[in-house]
Amino acid sequence: MAAQHDERLALCRIQAHQHLTAEADRFLADPAREHEFADPAIPRYLRHLLHKEGLVAANRAVRDAISHLKSGVPTAPFWDLVDATGFWEDATPGRWPHMTASGAQRSLDWALAYRAGQPFLVADEAAAA
């Protein structure tokens, strides 16, 4: 398939991986994260996992960690991280056999739009509300 062998997409995947790794690290390194979890060590563990095992492992761990947030802590910033890293994973060759080059590019564009702690994939009007 074109999405599996496109050099431009391969470079975009690398760029998105670097971007998401940096943004995820920045989000998880925020000292506020320690106060949001029942166990303050969870953000350090998530960062360790991000750097040692990569985005896919971190995606799964953040998804699980959301259930350990203290009551009242907004979950949207964590789900945004899960979604953004999931878009990158979706664009990985062989992940989805029917993924087209345009679909992979769209997923990578969405992944590259992620900014830690900022509203993700919402209209500007909704983000301002």
What's this model's pTM, rounded to 2 decimal places? 0.87
Structural domain harbouring 48: 2-128
Q: Mean of the per-residue pLDDT values for the chain?
A: 89
Helices (H), the chain: 2-5, 7-29, 32-36, 42-53, 55-65, 76-90, 101-113, 124-128
pLDDT tens-digit readout, 27-47: 999 999 999 999 999 999 999
User: Roughly how many angstroms between the first and final C-alpha of the chain, as a whole number?
Assistant: 42
Mean pLDDT comparison of 3-12, 15-24, 94-103, highest-scoring range: 15-24
* CB neighbour list of residue 99: distance below 8 Å, 6 or more residues apart: 1, 3, 90, 91
Could you tell me what percent of the chain has a pLDDT over 70?
90
The pLDDT of residue 127 is above 50: no
pLDDT tens-digit readout, 64-103: 999 999 999 999 999 999 999 999 999 988 888 888 889 9
pLDDT score at 80: 95
Residue 28, burial from CB neighbour count under 10 angstroms (0-12, 13-18, 19+): buried
Domain count across the chain: 1
